[in-house]
Structure 1
Amino acid sequence: MNKDFNHDRGKPRTAAVPPRTINVHKFAESRASELESLHSIVKERLSNDFKSQRSKRRRTTGHDNRLAKSRARKKQKAGEDNVTSPVHLENDKKKLPRHVRRKLELTKNSLDGFSTSGDGTKRLRTHLWHAKRFTMTKLWGFHLPLGVQGSGRGSRALLKKLKGGVLVHDASYCSAVQLEGPEDLLLSILETVLVPSPCSHCEDARSDILSGAINGSAELHHVGAVFSQTIAPVTYMWQPQQCRNADTKVDHSNICGEQQKIDGCSSLRRLWVWIHAAAFREGYNALQNACERQVDAAGTRVSCISLENHLGKLEVMGSRASQLLQKMLHPSTCSSVNSSLVKYASYIENDDQIPSSAIFSLSVYDPRFLDKDITNASEAKVQDTLSYKKDESGGNGTPKRDMKLLPCSFLEPEGSHGLSECIDLWDTKKDIDPPIEENILCMEKHRQRMELFRIGDMSTGRQQPSSERRFSRFCPILLLRSDSQKTSIIRWSIILPLSWIKVFWMAIVTNGAQAIGLREKHWISCELGLPCFPREFPDCSAYACFMALEEAAYDKKSELRSPHTRTWKVPVPSPWDSLRLALEGLNGAAHSWVQHEQLLPNDMIRNIAMNNPYLRSCKTETESSCSAPFEGFVARTCNVLAQFLDEIKASHLLLFPKVLHSKKCIGKFIKDEKILNEDADGVIYQINQDQKLCLVRVLLHAYREGSFEEGAVVCAPHIDDVMLWTTRSEISKGELQVPESFARSCFSQQATGKWEFQVPEEPAAKESCRLPIGFITTGFVRGSKKPVAVALCEAVCLARLREEQWKAVDVRKRRKEIYVLVRNLRSTAYRLALASIVLEQWEDDLECM
């Protein structure tokens, strides 16, 4: 049998390569008969009528042009004979529809500035993303996300995400003011407007702040005394001296005097002060006014520049925030601050070792290009730069970091086009190149897919931008770690150019972070025990403006209800002036209700002595049109509270702002039997009769039961009320209640719109009435495992209550907390609560959200 041998049997057979292109005409010609038969079948079924049926058209009159013709005939009858001429039709081009113009505007990515709506309201760079998912509101000149669409609930799931995931908030509505000049002059300016000033910190903390290693928090005031009107809480940061590029040219002759060209300009520094949008214009005017005053006094010039439309901020918080940033942010070796790269690389693996308020200046890759190769390469580069000294612990527990800069080299990848030079975010005079446009990235991905499937022309190169605009694959950022001493939740702030906001926002969201609005941010601030601006800052003009909008919205919502379902009106801005009544009512029987009826808050304010340093009006022409709602201030640092007590000669009051600095703990003061002063009652009344209200922030926990709402009144209990709650296991329903008539009329609105506390006249109301000493600014958050409310209470009243409660019990039963009564404005029942003064737990209360 003859066998055919295949000599190529051992060789593997190669499949035929598919053609690179497909000719559609040849394909149709080879199957012409099939297509004709299909067309004939369809033609018979449609009776040779290929028009779409009118009942199935989306717009049945969209094809009809008779309406346009009728409009032209009407114009002709009106006297416009040439409306149909070609010249008129060419000139009279119709404006594009609004949704088309809006889409074109929102897709732009300009270097700076915000897009605006028709009324001039600014839109965030993430406005389009938020508008599809959130309820938007107009506030502080921006379209801001109020919260997730719905009934305003969802706090339980939000708190769960906070403790087990990551949350992100676009805070680009906050802006910075840049001050540039000699260091000593900048310090003198900050000393007049900031409380506490950088010079008031300890030596180690001051050196870290001035070196740019950490940021500082303070309250911005108008130029004047310490107790002048507060503008807003601010965060300030210094540019490290080594960060200044050699090519940054500064006109020294305009900044320094002739005799200070050498010595003065050698210490030329730059400073950023971050201010909330609600008080940015007022804060900027105050800083500008302070700089002008220093120019007149010292003869040296300090520049004050607004960075309102140049920088943005993203806030990332949650238990897994550091892991998300570690996954997304990969520094490049072109970072101009290699010491920050070293610190970031050394701390990123050990999140607990990151110092409070630390600042990292980095240049990171575009998060859209992060793949395994880039990630591994960036990690290798970071490990190669870990030749640094061990951190030496400072006196205040904050590690000292080596801020010496190393020379950087920019490594340009192959095939890159139009990449930015290696610049730092502090170089505001240089334009930072925006990220590569999305359409270019889409074309590049499409080309790569075509190459993968071997479709199309292989000779086609990469997609190049049509314009000559420069783009970059690297972005300079500032990474700020918020103070983690008061809370266990990790919070980061990313400061970056506005043109990069959308890129980083999408990267953070796609990596598992949940976006939040202003409502959710308020819930989180209450859960963490931090103040929220401007809700909890009644001594600021921004609070009055914000509450005016809240009151208008509340009135509008109330008018939509029917009269039989409408509840009685309550004061939306809390009547803080009514707290003056408690200063006399807590001093025994010598000051009866008759005296309170004769001395109303308005009469007290008129009789105030203006020679007291705490009563001076430090308002300037640069203040906002909204004035402060009450004559007083909120003590947010231990030094301010201690200074207030020393000034009014009331250091004997049972307030312990300096307990953190002393060797004694507050427990030793509680056990001290000689600490109570029997002769302090008359002194307290004489001192506080003509003084400003001094409020302190307290945390309220319900003693047994109760849910505290925002705006609830905090009252001073009698000692019998405290004993009734603490000694008895159950309390009947009728006890510790006020009549409903008094609950409706205890706060009445005057013709001027101001709310005042009305003294009850009925005997039953007089017996059950308790004087107000504060108001709740943030109520309980639903779903919180440890519900806590935040209130602002009068400091002297709290000290008087503590003294009264300590006298009534044995030394061993004294508590650090103060018993107070809380009543919701639409309720008749009092609830006992424990008030903890924040300044007795922490040195300051400046950190806010």
Structure 2
Amino acid sequence: MVTNGSKAGVSAAPPHELTVWKFAEARAPELESLHSILADRLDNNFQSQKNKRRRTTGHDDRVAKRKFKRRKAGVGDMCKTDSERKDESKVSRRVRRNIELKKNPPCGFGTSGDGTKRLRTHVWHAKRFTMTKLWGFHVPLGLNGRGKGSRALLKKLKNGVLVHDASYYGCVQLEGPEDALLLVLSSVLVPPPSTCCEGISHDILAGHISGTAMLHDSGKPGFSPIAPVTFMWRPQQRFSTNTEGFNIDSFHIIQNINDGTASQLWVWIHAAACEEAYAALLSACERQTGITGPVNCISREGQLEKLELIGSKVFELMQKTLLPTSCSENSYHQKKCVADRDDDHGLSEETSILENGNQIPSSAVISLVVKDPRTLTKKGNVIIPEGKPLGLLSYEHCETKEQSFSSLPKHEAECVFNYGDLWDANKGVSPPVEESILCMEKHQQRKEFICLGSKSSVSQNAIVDGKYSRVCPVMLLKNENHEDSVTRWSIILPLSWVKAFWITLMSNGAHAIGLRERQWVACEIGLPYFPLDFPDCNAYSHFMAVEAIAFNHKATLRPHSKMPLQVPIPPPWDCVRFNFEERLSKAGNSHSGDSQAELCSQGDKIDNCHGVSFDGIIARTSSMLSDFLNNSGNHLLLFPKLRDQKSRLYEFMKDKEFLEKNAVISEPKHGNTRCYLRVLLRACKEGVFEQGAVVCAPLVTDIMLWKSRSESDEQQLQIPQSLLKSYFMQSPSGKWELQIPEDLALREFYRWPIGFITTGFVRGSKKATAGAVCEASLLSKLRVEQWKALPVRQRRKETYVLVRNMRSTAYRLALATIVLEQEEEDITFL
């Protein structure tokens, strides 16, 4: 320890500045001796050898000198016109693009030359992902490569965290009286919020939880569906964040702040249907305005960002990156939290929200104000203090205390209390502190640690003028999950803060995914994926049209001998309608063998069916399926799972005499709207089901043959190779036609289609399942035939179906599980 001679025991701190020239003068003799030694060895030739020079142009400064001369000449030349000066000062596209992408405006997306929008994380994704143009955005399709890697992705899903930038989602804000907003939602949403149970409906209206539903266009006949949406109300009543327990009771009222003002509502919509959905909501609001009063419909596109976190370690990642600075309460409760807080219990109440994440109910909405995640150290939620420097040994290992509101600057405390959540963020949210300022602060802190230099005032000046902020309002949305599904959270934050959170999430172990990997995750969890699993929406038709164009373009690049078999994209759903009408015409024939024989005998009279757009409805709630059963006489063997009624599936399945009592199971009347159901398919023994594969109705003999066949037996049901290319034929108009074979020998291998697979298997999954959409009455007909043919002990709640990939000749036996018989609603999507 260095001591002062005049005052014994008093340590002298090292100087704040070091003068280099004094150091050089003191070491001058040593430097001269070293220079003389090197000069003798090199014979006074200090020029580098040509064979050891790096073959670069870094030493050539002629380009820089030329630019300097042009710039100097441009300043002195005052006689040139404005256009000439503009041409001379034009910089390269690379420089202009880098400057544009580095900007961080408070709102709005950057656009390319053709008007396609770029995400704020576009540069990060473009370096690592395959980018594609969809829905007006440059979106990441997937990791670079051949589209594989699903097995590694499933491991990360099980043991890590996956993050997806969903900035392309659109947000529409509705404002008006609460009764008027409920009427608007009831006219366009299925199911409407009013049909929920009293407790859930109260929590949704109070803003405690969010809701999901299908958005329909009420102005068109038939209420055509548009897209699944997630909606949430602005909280009128806050909830407590007590650490004693975080359950649904914690969402009860603390203080009613409803002062009779207009309510606000957010509706989150996928970019594939954002314009159509906004037009439907605007039309519904205009119709309601003329009845009850003004209802405003405002688009919040380009203001809010949505990040999706999926995986088993989501809570650990959120605890590392999200550090709350205030309670999510009203101003009175916030001030009470500040008054009761001491240095020892800094943020115990706020951090309890993330610590007790497993106890948070599904669809919960939590509003927080968090600190800039870039200021957190890598060793946990520790912020380097701006006060006195720590000792050399205790700087890395001591536990620093968090800053309270009293230690925050005045402008930051006002920021916390002014917009405690994102609902007021439309008035303007300050962007985060620039990276260069943070780097300057960290550099200054290191200098202060070793007692060099003085404290810089750059960051303080940048913050005092209100341009930047160190706190950010966020909204945490726990997506609805089932018992066996993985944890899924969504983080909603201002668009200008995306880069700050994204880089921090990546640094803490999150794995980014694109659209392809997101579809794999949805299939693994068993959730529908928009728009592939929604063939009744216009977004599905547009997406499949783009897929067809891309596939045809890729096929034309191959030689004619190696071109793949052309298959219908999208699948010809009209073929299912044709099968439905044939079933109705032969409703009296209950035996499957007779039906097949009659099909063969009448094959010459059957016209080819054309593949057109999806015709029918998809029942995504138990109430919709119940209405369909009531309209068809309620004699179909379909058992929707209702809230107040137990499913009678097992009761009928174990009954020995009910099929004899009701020998004839009636079919829906001819001309009724066809109803489709989403089913999950699982292969019985072998097979990989691809997207677009056709789901067919098996005969009872096919099932018996499959169940009796041993694993070593290679005999299997398949169509001839000659029939594969003519199974679906494309007409000159572009429509696909289902061809019925004229040869009676070939008709024995033909099976009627009842649906198509919308989401194929995920390779590497231990519970490989595929999602399909099948016709409801045909599924009921198959269940009747199979229950009659099988003994009571061998009856299953699943239905046996046959699946054939479009480019394969083999039929694979699979078990189809109807989703609405397992869950009350099938509107939760990914």
Give TM class, smaller chain.
0.7 to 0.9
Counterpart contact for 1:440–1:465, Cα < 8 Å: no
Query: What residue in structure 2 maps to residue 352 of structure 1?
Result: 358
Counterpart contact for 2:377–2:383, Cα < 8 Å: no
What is the distance in 1 between the residues matched to 2:404 and 2:215?
40
What is the distance in 1 between the residues matched to 2:628 and 2:224?
15
- Name the TM-score, length of structure 1 as normaliser: 0.81
Query: What residue in structure 1 maps to residue 90 of structure 2?
Result: 95
What is the distance in 1 between the residues matched to 2:802 and 2:197?
39
Query: What residue in structure 1 maps to residue 627 of structure 2?
Result: 643
What is the distance in 2 between the residues matched to 1:644 and 1:785?
35
- Answer yes or no: is 1:672 the counterpart of 2:645: no
Give the 3 Å change call, closer, same or farther, for CA 265–413 of structure 1 in structure 2.
closer
1:94 positional shift: 3.8
Name the SS for the 1:564 alignment partner. helix
What is the distance in 1 between the residues matched to 2:161 and 2:64?
55
Once the two structures are superposed, what CA deviation does each residue of 1:363-413 show, in whole Å capped at 9, x if it has no partner? 1122122359994899xxxxxxxxxxxxxxxxxxxxxxxxxxxxxx99253
Name the SS for the 2:422 alignment partner. coil
Unaligned 5+ runs, structure 1: 1-7, 69-81, 245-263, 379-408, 606-627
Give the 3 Å change call, closer, same or farther, for CA 47–578 of structure 1 in structure 2.
same
Counterpart contact for 2:678–2:818, Cα < 8 Å: yes
- Name the TM-score, length of structure 2 as normaliser: 0.83
Segment drifting more, 594-603 vs 576-585: 594-603
Q: Mapping of 1:290-329 within 5 angstroms? A: 290-296=284-290, 298-329=291-322
Identity %, equivalent residues = 48
Counterpart contact for 1:219–1:234, Cα < 8 Å: yes
- Answer yes or no: is 1:330 the counterpart of 2:311: no
- Answer yes or no: is 1:507 the counterpart of 2:490: no
Q: Mapping of 1:333-732 within 5 angstroms? A: 333=326, 335-337=328-330, 348-370=354-376, 375=381, 411=405, 413-414=407-408, 420-422=415-417, 423=419, 424-456=421-453, 458=454, 460-461=456-457, 463-465=459-461, 468-485=465-482, 487-586=484-583, 587=586, 588=589, 589=594, 592-593=599-600, 598-600=605-607, 629-647=613-631, 649-658=632-641, 661-676=644-659, 683-684=666-667, 687=669, 689-730=670-711, 732=713
Counterpart contact for 1:440–1:464, Cα < 8 Å: no
Give the 3 Å change call, closer, same or farther, for CA 416–562 of structure 1 in structure 2.
farther
Unaligned 5+ runs, structure 2: 68-76, 240-257, 338-347, 385-402
What is the distance in 1 between the residues matched to 2:460 and 2:326?
26
Query: What residue in structure 2 maps to residue 821 of structure 1?
Result: 802
What is the distance in 1 between the residues matched to 2:685 and 2:328?
56
What is the distance in 2 between the residues matched to 1:571 and 1:733?
29
Give the 3 Å change call, closer, same or farther, for CA 160–662 of structure 1 in structure 2.
same
Counterpart contact for 1:336–1:363, Cα < 8 Å: no
Name the SS for the 2:477 alignment partner. strand
1:266 positional shift: 2.3
Q: 1:212 aligns with which of 186, 204, 207?
A: 207
What is the distance in 2 between the residues matched to 1:93 and 1:681?
87
What is the distance in 1 between the residues matched to 2:355 and 2:80?
74
1:27 positional shift: 2.2
Query: What residue in structure 2 maps to residue 162 of structure 1?
Result: 157
1:191 positional shift: 0.8
Give the 3 Å change call, closer, same or farther, for CA 418–663 of structure 1 in structure 2.
closer
Give the 3 Å change call, closer, same or farther, for CA 170–42 of structure 1 in structure 2.
farther
1:656 positional shift: 0.5
Tell me the amino acid that sits aligned with residue 504 of structure 1.
F
1:766 positional shift: 0.6
Segment drifting more, 725-734 vs 818-827: 725-734
Query: What residue in structure 2 maps to residue 758 of structure 1?
Result: 739
Query: What residue in structure 2 maps to residue 747 of structure 1?
Result: 728
What is the distance in 1 between the residues matched to 2:769 and 2:727?
26
Give the 3 Å change call, closer, same or farther, for CA 680–191 of structure 1 in structure 2.
farther
Aligned length: 753
Counterpart contact for 1:659–1:665, Cα < 8 Å: no
What is the distance in 1 between the residues matched to 2:64 and 2:501?
47
1:700 positional shift: 0.6
What is the distance in 1 between the residues matched to 2:378 and 2:64?
58
Counterpart contact for 1:362–1:476, Cα < 8 Å: yes
Give the 3 Å change call, closer, same or farther, for CA 659–433 of structure 1 in structure 2.
closer
1:829 positional shift: 0.8
Segment drifting more, 659-668 vs 482-491: 659-668
Tell me the amino acid that sits aligned with residue 813 of structure 2.
L
Give the 3 Å change call, closer, same or farther, for CA 174–45 of structure 1 in structure 2.
farther
Counterpart contact for 2:758–2:771, Cα < 8 Å: yes
1:503 positional shift: 1.1
Tell me the amino acid that sits aligned with residue 332 of structure 1.
T
Name the SS for the 2:436 alignment partner. helix
Structure 1 vs Structure 2 CA RMSD? 3.7
Give the 3 Å change call, closer, same or farther, for CA 844–830 of structure 1 in structure 2.
same
Give the 3 Å change call, closer, same or farther, for CA 330–86 of structure 1 in structure 2.
closer
Q: 2:281 aligns with which of 273, 287, 291?
A: 287
Once the two structures are superposed, what CA deviation does each residue of 1:335-374 show, in whole Å capped at 9, x if it has no partner? 4458899997555434432111111111112212235999
Q: Mapping of 1:135-284 within 5 angstroms? A: 135-224=130-219, 227-242=222-237, 266=260, 268-284=262-278
Counterpart contact for 1:193–1:224, Cα < 8 Å: no
What is the distance in 2 between the residues matched to 1:596 and 1:214?
56
1:166 positional shift: 0.9
Query: What residue in structure 1 maps to residue 813 of structure 2?
Result: 832
1:50 positional shift: 11
Tell me the amino acid that sits aligned with residue 618 of structure 2.
V
1:111 positional shift: 0.7
Query: What residue in structure 2 maps to residue 845 of structure 1?
Result: 826
Give the 3 Å change call, closer, same or farther, for CA 541–775 of structure 1 in structure 2.
same
Once the two structures are superposed, what CA deviation does each residue of 1:678-711 show, in whole Å capped at 9, x if it has no partner? 8786942x62x42333211111111111111111
What is the distance in 1 between the residues matched to 2:349 and 2:17?
52
Query: What residue in structure 1 maps to residue 777 of structure 2?
Result: 796
Give the 3 Å change call, closer, same or farther, for CA 99–570 of structure 1 in structure 2.
same
Counterpart contact for 2:230–2:267, Cα < 8 Å: yes
Once the two structures are superposed, what CA deviation does each residue of 1:481-527 show, in whole Å capped at 9, x if it has no partner? 11122543000001111011111112222111111111111000000
- Answer yes or no: is 1:56 the counterpart of 2:39: no
Tell me the amino acid that sits aligned with residue 592 of structure 1.
L
Q: Mapping of 1:773-812 within 5 angstroms? A: 773-812=754-793
Counterpart contact for 1:739–1:764, Cα < 8 Å: no
1:64 positional shift: 8.0
Once the two structures are superposed, what CA deviation does each residue of 1:268-304 show, in whole Å capped at 9, x if it has no partner? 21110100000000000000011111123x1511000
Segment drifting more, 144-153 vs 414-423: 414-423
1:667 positional shift: 1.1
Counterpart contact for 2:571–2:692, Cα < 8 Å: yes
Counterpart contact for 1:175–1:312, Cα < 8 Å: no
Counterpart contact for 1:418–1:470, Cα < 8 Å: no
Give the 3 Å change call, closer, same or farther, for CA 38–350 of structure 1 in structure 2.
same
What is the distance in 2 between the residues matched to 1:740 and 1:463?
73
What is the distance in 1 between the residues matched to 2:157 and 2:755?
30
Tell me the amino acid that sits aligned with residue 845 of structure 1.
D
Query: What residue in structure 1 maps to residue 387 of structure 2?
Result: none
